[in-house]
Structure 1
Amino acid sequence: MTLIGSVQRAMRLLETVAEHPYGAPAKQLARETGLALPTAYHLLRTLVHEGYLRREKGLFFLGEAAERLSSSGAQQKRRSTVVDTLARWRDAIGVPVYYARYHEGEIDVVCVSDTPGIPAVQEWADFRETGHAHAIGQCLLSQLDEESRRDHLARYPVRSVTPYTVRDDHHLQRRLDSMRRTEPVVECQEYALGTVCAALPITIGTTAATMAISLPAHQADRLLPAALQLQHEAGRLLGSLAISISI
């Protein structure tokens, strides 16, 4: 019980320090938390030693360890927002939904929302290396500037993934240049036989991102209507989703 009590008192101190962005002295923190001054001093010294607080000119501030916890919690909250949103779209449209971004020179599929009844495409060839072959990659590459795109294709050259994959760099460049920012990028069996995909470009700040869906090839007639429905849903929520785009 003593240990639990100490943890509770330390947490109260951390919460109280967080309410004072310009710092607070030990006596004020003891008074606001209802702790005896010797107890407050002992806990404050321990929290400073562990990096959860820092002391400057007699005032206590949140330390790097506490800020890391705060940053991690915020990141988890943003990820949870994306996961929940994709799940709602998956259920409403009846298709697997993907969120991906172009991050530090790589295609990063951040989140996939599917169910056993509506499974996502299996990553049988590395998504990062086959961006030219799937709708997610083509959508992201179309948003890059010429230098970034050239650098990506130098590292991951165009190659055949299926018989339907774009043939070479020249044909891929022509396709990317012809893509319009407001229209879905559609790919038919270029990455996985028996599967069709569509991706929607999303750019917030300098982040190139995309929402995408996939369907079995025999349901190809559903692809464009489903993509347009996703585009409508994403457009309505983009403002609230913007803070989550960089997870």
Structure 2
Amino acid sequence: MAEKAAGGVQSVERVFELLELITDAGGDVTLSELSSSTDLPLPTIHRLLRTLVTLGYIRQLPNRRYALGPRLIRLGEGANKQLGALARPQLKSLVDRLGETSNMAVLDSDMVIYVAQVPSLHSMRMFTEVGRRAHTHDTGVGKAILAQLDDEAVRGIVSRTGMPTPTPKSIGDIDALLADLKLIRERGYSIDEEEQELGVRCFAMAVPNAPTPTAISVSGPVSRVDKSFADRAVPLLREAAQAISDEFNQN
């Protein structure tokens, strides 16, 4: 558990510790698994869980495991909107300087969800919408996020979601994906090379030290988003990702 805040309310700290432990475990746990992951006394864990179940923030499954509850969805949607609002000025700057659509996405339940977008003024552009969910293995933002995780975590994600191939250029097996992620880690950014949509290329970069795995991207037709575009875009993406990170960590 993170170090307790000075002057913090202990019961509140304990509640969030349990919620974070359940999240880190993949979304559902047993009482004994929680007990082995924290120093909290078992009766305290049970009491807090019972309260959270009553409030709808945790639910108990038929197999007696505890899972994150539906009321957290509303909080998460609100947080995603706030993350998008914080990032929007940087995304707009990318569009102003590069002329192509910029997006921000976060990892949510093994998928990426787009939380902010500033569209290009061009008539021919990528039409991803805010709120859209997509796989991680065939999107620029998704691969930028996966590259921040270890190979075991990546294997877990794709084993749960599968690896559909929306275009002939999509990556369809785990070994090829892990090889691509190794390259992404080395160069610091990902490329969606017509893997999500034929004719569209995307450059993406993870936001460092974000509160949840997050990435930003610029995308457009391959006729405009070429090698010379990449030479201009990558430094600007890095600058924007750091600025968004700084903004997150001031709040």
Normalising by the smaller structure, the TM-score range is: 0.5 to 0.7
Q: 1:83 to 1:190 in 2, by over 3 A?
A: same
The structural deviation recorded for 1:173 is 1.7
The structural deviation recorded for 1:161 is 1.2
CA distance in structure 2 between the partners assigned to 1:244 and 1:83 by the alignment: 16
How many residues align structurally? 173
CA distance in structure 2 between the partners assigned to 1:74 and 1:134 by the alignment: 22
SS of equivalent residue, structure 2 residue 185: coil
- 8 Å CA contact 2:84–2:104 kept in 1: the answer is no
Q: Name 1:89's counterpart in structure 2.
A: 94
Task: Name which of 190, 194, 209 aligns with 2:214.
Answer: 209
Counterparts in 2 of 1:159-198, with a 5 A limit? 159-180=164-185, 183-198=188-203
- Residues 42-62 of structure 1, C-alpha deviation per residue, up to 9 Å, x if partnerless? xxxxxxxxxxxxxxxxxxxxx
Q: Name 1:226's counterpart in structure 2.
A: 232
SS of equivalent residue, structure 1 residue 231: helix
TM (norm. structure 2) is 0.58
Q: 1:193 to 1:237 in 2, by over 3 A?
A: same
Q: Name 1:60's counterpart in structure 2.
A: none
- 8 Å CA contact 2:199–2:222 kept in 1: the answer is yes
Sequence identity (%): 20
- Structure 1, unpaired ranges of 5+: 1-71
Counterparts in 2 of 1:104-183, with a 5 A limit? 104-117=109-122, 120-123=125-128, 128-180=133-185, 183=188
SS of equivalent residue, structure 1 residue 164: coil
Q: 1:128 to 1:79 in 2, by over 3 A?
A: closer
- Residues 65-113 of structure 1, C-alpha deviation per residue, up to 9 Å, x if partnerless? xxxxxxx999876543322221122112212111112234331211111
CA distance in structure 1 between the partners assigned to 2:164 and 2:83 by the alignment: 36
- Structure 2, unpaired ranges of 5+: 1-76
CA distance in structure 1 between the partners assigned to 2:245 and 2:134 by the alignment: 31
CA distance in structure 2 between the partners assigned to 1:122 and 1:102 by the alignment: 20
Q: 1:119 to 1:209 in 2, by over 3 A?
A: farther
Q: Give the partner amino acid of 1:141.
A: L
Q: Superposition RMSD on alpha carbons, in Å?
A: 3.2
- 8 Å CA contact 1:95–1:118 kept in 2: the answer is no
Q: 1:119 to 1:241 in 2, by over 3 A?
A: farther
Q: Give the partner amino acid of 2:153.
A: S
The structural deviation recorded for 1:235 is 5.7
Q: Name 1:102's counterpart in structure 2.
A: 107
Q: Name 2:85's counterpart in structure 1.
A: 80
The structural deviation recorded for 1:244 is 7.9
